[in-house]
Structure 1
Amino acid sequence: MYRIRKSAGRRRALQTLAALVGAAVPLVYGKTSPSVSAAPQGRSTDDRRITDLIGANGWAGASRDVEMWRQMGISWGRDSVGPGQPDSPKEIIRVDKTGSQFDNDLPSALLLNNRNGIKSLLILGYTAPWNAMVPGDSNSAPVDVRAWTRYVEAAVRKYSAPPFNLRYFQIWNEAAGKLSGGAQQATFWHGPNFSKDDRYARPYERAMQDYVERIHLPAARIIRKYNAYVVYGGWPDQGGLSNYCKWLEYRSPASNERMLDWVDYLDTHYLGVSDLNELYERYVKNGPARGIWQTEIGDAYMKDPHYLPEYFFDFAVWALDHKWDDPNKYVSMIYHWDGYEPFRLTHRGPPVRTYNVSGRSLVVLHQTVSGPLASLANPLKFGPGAAGSGLRSGGDIVLQVNASPGWRMVTVAGLKRPASREVKIEFIDALTGTVSAADAMTTTWSNDGLQLGFKVPERVNGAGNDPPTHLAYIAVRSFA
C-alpha cells in the first residue's frame, strides 16, 4: 500500500481546535486504572463485532446522520471539549462546547451518542494563548501547569459523572519532538525556538520531557482519579515507533514515574495494521497497556477506494489473532466522516448528505461481516493474481480478496462440505455491494478442502491503483 502524507488541510483544521484551561490539582492521585472485571451488559465476552473497531472523528448530528453512522458500522466518535479559559485566567472555566471553533453544544452531542449506542472519546487540549510558552500559540507548552490541570479537572469531573458517564479521555494530540519528515517541531507541540517559518525553526530540546511532566502525568492523575481511562495523545506517524517507545518508557526525574504507567490505551495515527505488532508485543500482550487505538486513520489515504475496507478487514483479522478479549481493546477512528472532498465518508450536501465511495465501502463491509467474529483456522491458498485473508462472521465464512481481472482461484484448505445442506456462495463487490451472477463462481469440494473459482471483471473497482485490481468478498453463507 502506498503511503500519503497527512494533508495540510487536515493540519490546519486541527490547529483551530484552540485553547482551553482552567484551576488547581490535588497533590497525589492513585495510579490504578479502572476495574476490568465486568464485561459490557448484553454482550458475551467472546462476542466481537466489526463495529467494535470502527470510529470517526466528529459527532453525528441529525437523526439522519446517526442512521448513516449505524449503516457504516461506526460505534465511536471523537472530538474536543472546551473552550476552557481562552482569554484570561479570571474567566469562568467553560467545558460545554465542542468542534474546531468550539461553536457546538457538547452535552447534547454526548447525550445523543449515549442514546444511540455511540461511545465518545473527548480530546483534552490545548493551551490558552495567554498561558503559552510561545506567546499566543495554543499549540505551545503551558507556562502555568495549574491552569492546564484546572481545565482537565473541570472537563473530566463533569463528563465522567451522570448523565454522561464517559470513561475515555485523550490527553492532547500528536505531541512529539523533531519529526522524521524534517519538521523541527511537531505540529501540535511547540516550545522554545519555534517559528512558523521552517527556515528559522529549531528543535524543542525538552519537547517530550515537558510533555510528560507538564501535560501527560498531571492530566492522567486526574483522569484515573475519576475512575476513567487514559488514552495517549495520538503519536504521529512521522514521529517513528522507536521514538514513541523511547518516550513511553521515559522516566520523569521529577516524579520517578514512566509515562507508560499512566497510559491505558496506546494511540498512534495513520499507521498500517502490521505496524501495531511491535506495540502489542512490548506493551499489551503482558501489559501494562490495555489496548491499541488509532484515533486518526484515513484522510488522504482514502483517495484509494480500497484503503478503508482493506484496513478494517485486516484489522479485524489481526485483532482476532491478538487476544481481542475486550470490545474496546482495539479501535481505529476515521479522519473525517464528513466534508466536501470526494474521499471523505460522506458529502454533507446540499441538498442532502450522501455517501462517498469510502462511506459506501463501510456499509458493504458492515453488511457482509455482520455477525460475531472468529478467526478462520483454515489456511487460504491463492492462485496467481490474487491475494487476501478470511474470518468467520456468525455462521458465514468471509474472504476478502484483491485480484487482477480474469478467472482467479482460492482454496480454503481442510474445509469439509456439510452433509445436511447446500452452501450458498456469493462474490460481492467490496465498494458497491453488487453480487455477481452465479456463473462468475465455481465451487469444487475435494479432500484438500473447498476450491473456489471467481471471475474478476475487466472493469476493476481499483482502476486508479498501480496495478489496477479488484476488491471483493467471497461469502460462504450459513456454513456453520
Structure 2
Amino acid sequence: MSDRFEFSRRRRALLAALAASGVMPSMDALAAQSRFVRRAGASSGGERRITQLIGANGWAESASNIAMWKEMGISWGRDSVGPGQRNSPDDPVRVDKTGAAFDHDLPPAILQNNRNGIHSLLLLGYTPKWNASVEGDSRSAPKDDSVWQRYVETVVRTYVAPPYNVRHFQIWNEAAGKLTGGSPQATFWHGKNFSAHREQARPYDRAMQDYVDLVHIPAARIVRKYGGYVVYGGWPDQGGLENYVKWLEYRSPEADARMIDWVDYLDTHYLGVDALTPLYERYVARGAARGIWQTEIGDRYMSDPHYLPTYFFKFAVWALAHGWNDPNQYVSMVYHWDGFEPYRLTHRGNPRTYNVSGRSLIVLNKTVGGALERFGGQLAFGPDASGLALRSGGDLVIQVRAGPGPRNVDVSGWAGAQPERLGVAMIDALTGEAADASAISARSSAQGLSIGFRIPEAVNGARHGAPEHLAYLVVTQRA
C-alpha cells in the first residue's frame, strides 16, 4: 500500500467503464442531479423557532434529562456510532453502540429522541486500529478503504430505516492538515509523519486529498444512496475559512468530483456568527448547500456567562436575514451539555442541576419562544449600550448589553406597532428575573418608541474586564 492509500483500482476502472459506456451517469452528473432533487425538496413553509437552532453534543439518555433539554430548548443531539469491526476483519460490523468509548446503547437513545421531537445526528468515525495507516491510531486514514465503506453502509442502512428514521450523518470530525495554531497535523486526522509527541511530528502533506478520496466522497455516496443528508465533518476553527473553501472546491481525480458536490450541510466549529456569512453567500445562497451548521460551539467560551445567550440570539437574527426557509437549515450544537466544569450547561450528579449557561438557555427559550420574524425597524442606542432585535410572536424582543446606570434606546420603523398600547419589561438574561417597573420607562411618538432602562450596579457579567449586564427588553402590545 503506497503513502497515498490508493482506492481499489478495479472499482475505479469499473465505474469509469460504465460511465464511458453510457450505462451510468458520470460522478458530476450524479452529484448535480442529487443537488437538484434535494434543493427542490427543501421545505419553505412553517414557522421558525429558536429551538430549531439549538443542539447539544451527546444524548439525553433519560426522561429527566429529556425534560431538561426541552426546558433549555435543545432539539438536536450528536454522538458517535460504532464500534464497527473493532478487533479484526473477521468481526461482525457492530453499529449498536455510542459514546466516546462505545459504552452506551444507541438504538434506545435514538428512539427516545424520536418520541420527544429531538433530531439525531450520527457521527461516522473512525478507523479500527488494525486497519489504521498510522499503527494503532484510530484517528488515522484507513489502509483498506473498503473496511470504512462497509462500516458506513451498515450504519446508514440500519438507521435510515424505521423505526429510527435518521436522515443526517456527519462524516468524520475535524479532518484537516496543518493548523494555524502551530499543530502540524489535525487532532482527529493523522497520517504520514504523525507523532504523539508534537515536537517530533511533521505535516501530513496529503491530509485533505486522502480525506476527500478515502473517506468523505465514498461515505457521502453511501449516505445519499439511502436518502440521507451529508453533514461535513466539522471544519476546525484553526483550519482557516480560506483553506476550508479551497478543499470544499478541490476536485478529486479519484472520484472526478469536488467535495462540495457531496456536501448537504456545511459544518464548522467554534466560529462566531459573522464568520458564517461568506459561506452563506458562496454556497447556500447559490444552492450548492442546504445550510450551515456548527456541530461544536461553547466549551470554555461558556466561561463568559453572556456567551451562549448572545451567540444564539445573534444566530437567530442572522438566520432570519439569511434565507432561513427550512427548519434544519441552521443549527449550532453546544459542546458539551453536561460535565463537572462550572461552564457546562448542567452539572453532572444526582440530581443533575443547571449551571449558569444552562439557565441562560432556559431564559432565552422562554423569552423568544414564539414564532420568529425579522425586525425590519431600527435601533438607536445611547452611550454604553448595544443590542439586536427580533420579533417573537407578537412581541418585539431587544437583547441589550450595557454598563451600569441609566441607558436608553430609540426604536423606529416597527410596522404595525401602536405606540399608545405598548408595554415594556426588562428581563435578566441569565436568571430570568424581571426588573422592577420603576427601572423602565417608555415614551411613544410618531417616530416610534423611546425606552429608558436602568442597569443595576450588580451586573451579571463583564466584557474585556468592564462590568456589563445582559438583558432582554420585551415590548408587548396590550389588548
What TM-score results when the alignment is normalised by the length of structure 1?
A: 0.91
Corresponding residue for 2:406?
407
Corresponding residue for 1:360?
359
Partner deviation per Cα, 1:157-210 (whole Å, 9 max, x = no partner): 000111101110000000000000000000000000000111110000000000
Q: Given residue 225 of structure 2, which amino acid in structure 1 is its aligned partner?
A: K
- How far off its partner does 1:423 sit? 2.3
Residues 1:476 and 2:475 are matched in the alignment? yes
Corresponding residue for 1:380?
379
Name the CA distance, whole Å, in 2 between partners of 1:407 and 1:25: 71
Partner deviation per Cα, 1:12-42 (whole Å, 9 max, x = no partner): xxxxxxxxxxxx99976843156455577xx
- How far off its partner does 1:422 sit? 3.1
Name the CA distance, whole Å, in 2 between partners of 1:416 and 1:229: 39
Corresponding residue for 1:207?
207
Would you say the 8 A contact 2:420–2:444 is kept in 1? no
Would you say the 8 A contact 2:375–2:414 is kept in 1? no
Are residues 140 and 460 of structure 1, via their aligned partners in 2, closer, same or farther at CA, if it must alter by over 3 Å?
A: same
Partner deviation per Cα, 1:228-279 (whole Å, 9 max, x = no partner): 1000000000000000000000001122210000000000000000000110
Name the stretch that deviates more: 377-386 or 411-420: 411-420
Partner deviation per Cα, 1:117-168 (whole Å, 9 max, x = no partner): 0000000000010001100000001100000000000000000111101110
Residues 1:100 and 2:100 are matched in the alignment? yes
Structure 2, unaligned stretches of length 5 or more?
Answer: 1-9, 16-26
Question: Residues 44-63 of structure 1 correspond to what in structure 2 (within 5 A)?
Answer: 45-63=45-63
Are residues 35 and 279 of structure 1, via their aligned partners in 2, closer, same or farther at CA, if it must alter by over 3 Å?
A: closer
Would you say the 8 A contact 2:421–2:477 is kept in 1? no
Name the CA distance, whole Å, in 1 between partners of 2:48 and 2:478: 19
Name the CA distance, whole Å, in 2 between partners of 1:207 and 1:341: 34
Partner deviation per Cα, 1:397-417 (whole Å, 9 max, x = no partner): 000000000000001113479
Q: Percent identity?
A: 63
Corresponding residue for 1:339?
339
Structure 1, unaligned stretches of length 5 or more?
Answer: 1-23
Partner deviation per Cα, 1:288-334 (whole Å, 9 max, x = no partner): 11100000000000000000000000000000000001010000000
SS state at 2:198 partner:
coil
Would you say the 8 A contact 1:347–1:356 is kept in 2? yes
Corresponding residue for 2:300?
300
Corresponding residue for 1:80?
80
SS state at 1:427 partner:
strand
Would you say the 8 A contact 1:418–1:479 is kept in 2? no
Corresponding residue for 1:324?
324
Residues 1:426 and 2:425 are matched in the alignment? yes
Would you say the 8 A contact 2:39–2:287 is kept in 1? no
Name the CA distance, whole Å, in 1 between partners of 2:109 and 2:205: 39
Name the stretch that deviates more: 391-400 or 417-426: 417-426
- How far off its partner does 1:348 sit? 1.4
Corresponding residue for 1:452?
451
Corresponding residue for 1:21?
none
C-alpha RMSD of matched pairs (Å) = 1.9
Name the CA distance, whole Å, in 1 between partners of 2:418 and 2:152: 61
Name the stretch that deviates more: 469-478 or 25-34: 25-34
Name the CA distance, whole Å, in 2 between partners of 1:370 and 1:263: 31
Question: Residues 144-293 of structure 1 correspond to what in structure 2 (within 5 A)?
Answer: 144-293=144-293
| Corresponding residue pairs, total | 453
Q: Which has the higher helix share?
A: 2
Q: Given residue 126 of structure 1, which amino acid in structure 2 is its aligned partner?
A: Y
What TM-score results when the alignment is normalised by the length of structure 2?
A: 0.92
Would you say the 8 A contact 1:25–1:149 is kept in 2? no
Are residues 322 and 415 of structure 1, via their aligned partners in 2, closer, same or farther at CA, if it must alter by over 3 Å?
A: closer
